[in-house]
Amino acid sequence: QRQWTLALLKPDICANAAIIPKIQQAMQHHHLDIVHYQDVLWSLDDAERFYAEHKGKFFYQRLCGYMTSGPFQAYVLSSPNAIKDWRQLIGPTHPVRARIMQPTTLRALYGLTDTRNSFHGSDSIANAQQEIQFFFPNLNLHHL
């Protein structure tokens, strides 16, 4: 039984090319297989569509501005518990909280602020499918 999740390495991480191999090593170390990845550069419209569920929240514009500030990377990761495994590896949404509660997580190590938190991970099977479709529309989810 395998599961798939969508992981994003957000623009602040991708601005520092030396960090990316370290993140990929962490994925592999946690048995998260990289099945697909692509470089992405979003328009504001792309960001607003992906983050539509946050429309109206106080951080929405800041979030969309951040995610359009430069190139980033989208990954499809696979493991028996990929959704939970990747979210555990990245840690709490807020990097300052992550540094206190879970100091070895990726957001604790690399995250900057509540918005510029460096990573994304799908939070459910339904959202993973939807988010994978968003970035990889040609993938047949049944043949991942």
Q: Which of 59, 65, 124, 130 binds ligand CMP (CB under 6 A)?
A: 59
**36 is an active site residue:** no
Query: By CB under 6 A, is residue 115 in contact with ligand CMP?
Result: yes
Number of residues that bind ligand CMP (CB under 6 A): 8
Q: 29, 120, 142, 143: which is the annotated catalytic residue?
A: 120
Q: Is 72 within 8 Å of 14 (Cβ atoms)?
A: yes
59 labelled ligand-binding? yes
Beta carbon of residue 1, minimum distance to ligand CMP (angstroms, whole number): 25
Query: By CB under 6 A, is residue 63 in contact with ligand CMP?
Result: yes
Tokens 């989208």 locate to 74
Beta carbon of residue 94, minimum distance to ligand CMP (angstroms, whole number): 7
Query: By CB under 6 A, is residue 69 in contact with ligand CMP?
Result: no
- Identify which of residues 45 and 123 has a Cβ nearer to ligand CMP in the complex: 123
Q: Would you list the DSSP string of 83-99?
A: HHHHHHHH--SSHHHHH
Query: By CB under 6 A, is residue 114 in contact with ligand CMP?
Result: yes
Provide the annotated binding site.
10, 59, 87, 93, 107, 117
- Catalytic site residues? 120
